[in-house]
Homo-oligomer: A and B are copies of this chain.
Amino acid sequence: MAPDRNRRRIPDATVSRLPVYLRILAEQSAEGVDNVSSERLAELAGVNAAKVRKDLSYLGSYGTRGVGYEVDYLMYQVRRELGLTHDWPVVIVGAGNLGQALAGHGGFGERGFPIGGIVDIDETKVGTVLGGVRVRHIDELPQIVQTKRVNIGVVATPGANAQDAADRLVKAGVTSILNFAPIVLSVPRSIEVRKVDLAVELQILSYYEQRRAGGSIHVVPGDPSRSATA
């Protein structure tokens, strides 16, 4: 008993699955389901049931043996653990194609990440309105971060400007960055960075496609075929 205030550290792999469970729980709740088993949850999340139980056990013992997990209660616990009991405003750097799509997406605010601001370095883009937010100049970044209490920055610039964008975000006080540019950002170790790279994802798929195709097609002349040394 006595829920340890001792902050258990949750494994990274588990942290990355919690949002998935959360969304599923929300769906179930919306459908009027008020109890789920780890088996059912696992099925919906496409993972192993034991993994679900172990993941959830890191939050505490919130299930009932022989019954399962109460949806709303568990949902609240996951939210709390993920720090989603309050909003996290984000600032988007780059009002190009991607920045516009992100701003217009709408799903951000709904999920607890309202857009605190969008900035761009291009003067001609400043003043236009995206997703209900006016694009401001990148020099205003520090002010936006301060006044809106922004902790999370989104880099949606071309690769060439991404490092500069990240530097400015860090300098402005942001401590987490979601990077959409196809480069490896160099930031202080204390800054948490997550990367989303479409080209990388496609190339990974390409690998498995190529492998599926048999792998040995497309023999290129001049390739020094190596003997089978493992």
Interface size class of A (residues with CB under 8 A): 35 or more
Q: Which residues of B contact A97 (CB under 8 A)?
A: 100-101, 104-105
Q: Which of A31-39, A121-129, A205-213 forms contacts with chain B?
A: A205-213
Q: Which residues of B contact A222 (CB under 8 A)?
A: 86
A99 → B minimal CB distance (Å)? 9
> Given A199-B107, A207-B81, A216 and B4 touching (CB < 8 A)?
yes
Residue pair A204, B173 in contact (C-beta under 8 Å): no
Q: Within residues 85 to 135 of chain A, which ones have a CB less than 8 A from any CB in chain B? A: 85-86, 88, 90, 97-98, 100-102, 104-105, 107-108, 111-113
A65 to B178, CA, bound (A): 38
Q: Determine which of B3, B86, B90, B210 lies in contact with A83 in the assembled complex, contact meaning CB atoms within 8 Å.
A: B210
Q: Within residues 180 to 230 of chain A, which ones have a CB less than 8 A from any CB in chain B? A: 182-184, 186, 190, 192, 194, 196-213, 215-216, 218, 220, 222-223, 226, 228, 230
26 sample A-B contacts, Cβ–Cβ < 8 Å, listed by A number: A3-B228, A4-B216, A4-B228, A16-B200, A18-B203, A19-B197, A20-B184, A20-B200, A44-B184, A46-B186, A60-B226, A83-B209, A85-B220, A86-B220, A97-B105, A98-B105, A101-B101, A107-B199, A113-B202, A113-B206, A151-B209, A152-B202, A190-B230, A192-B209, A196-B198, A196-B201
Contacts A97-B104, A192-B212 known; 11 new A-B pairs at CB < 8 A: A8-B230, A19-B199, A24-B184, A82-B206, A84-B203, A97-B101, A97-B105, A107-B198, A113-B199, A149-B226, A175-B212
Query: 8 tightest A-B contacts by CB?
Result: A83-B210, A101-B101, A19-B203, A7-B215, A176-B205, A19-B200, A83-B206, A192-B208
